[in-house]
A = this chain, B = another copy of it.
Amino acid sequence: MALIEAMIIVADNLHVIQPAIAKAVQTLDPAPIRELALRCIQAGAQALDINSGPLSKMPQERMRFLVESVQTVTDLPLILDTTNATAMAAGLEACRGRATINGFSLEPAKIERMLPLARQFDADIIGYLLGANSQVPVEADEMMAVAVALFEQYTQAGLDPARLIIDPVIAPLSWQEGARHNQAVLKVIAGLPDLLGTPVRTIAGLSNLATGRLPLERKITLEQTFLPMLAAAGLDMVLTNVLHAPTLQTARLCDQLLGDRIFA
């Protein structure tokens, strides 16, 4: 038995889906990026996910710009979130601290182009529990099978299991099988250490839960209700909108309730 640490809160706010961020990337203006990063840190972020999108134009310059802009205001760990391997490599090179690649899956292109970057840049890497054709498994059994296959790909690449972070992929509740899928996610988080024979870390994107036209208050209460379930299952890192103050309060209460979590 080993004590495991409190859940780490990763901001998902630095995302090109935000118009201010998209514009800042286009014009290479660091101010809006610095400002948002600082707001996230003030809100309680312990790591920052930088979601640059695919960056079809100037991928290296733009990802480097994003990383450097954030690094002018913080030394927090960064998670680089793009499907563009060229942008990913440039971003990893720009990271001063330990960085995390977000991410790879059983999709052949990801295994061929993303996984090698973990070794090349000595980075942690997030592995998604998606099938080879990017479909989302519904049942816990299928997710477990994907986790085993993903773990094999990872270790066959000669990488250290301690540097892998598995993301079982929270589904929107609006999906027909969303609730069932998310219950399976809880089982998988709790069951992975036994399944893989090693205490592999887990991350989950809480903002996926309540998408679309739901009122903000409803989204937040859904986050506040699912987060304790994830925490009790043993989730190590939560990727979330840190500007949802009640959700962050819930994260802190989870730590109070599960502060000395024991990993059996």
Contacts and interface: CB of A to CB of B under 8 A. Distances in A.
A261 B186 CA distance: 12
A221 interface: yes
Given A257-B173, A258-B183, A249 B221 contact: yes
Contacts of A250: 221, 224-225
A253 B225 contact: yes
Interface in A230-264: 231-233, 249-250, 253-254, 256-262
A95 to B, nearest CB: 34
Contacts of A225: 224, 228, 250, 253-254, 257
A179 interface: yes
A121 interface: no
Interface string A218-229: 000110111111
Interface residues of A, number: 28
A253 to B, nearest CB: 4
A144 B229 CA distance: 22
A249 to B, nearest CB: 7
Contact of A224 (B222, B224, B232): B224
A69 interface: no
A182 interface: yes
A253 B186 contact: no
Contact of A258 (B179, B254, B261): B179
A180 interface: yes
Interface of A: 173, 179-180, 182-183, 186, 221-222, 224-229, 231-233, 249-250, 253-254, 256-262
12 contacts: A173-B256, A179-B258, A183-B257, A183-B258, A183-B262, A222-B253, A222-B256, A224-B250, A225-B254, A225-B257, A226-B257, A227-B228
The 9 closest A-B pairs by CB, nearest first: A229-B232, A225-B253, A228-B228, A228-B229, A225-B228, A225-B250, A226-B257, A179-B259, A186-B232
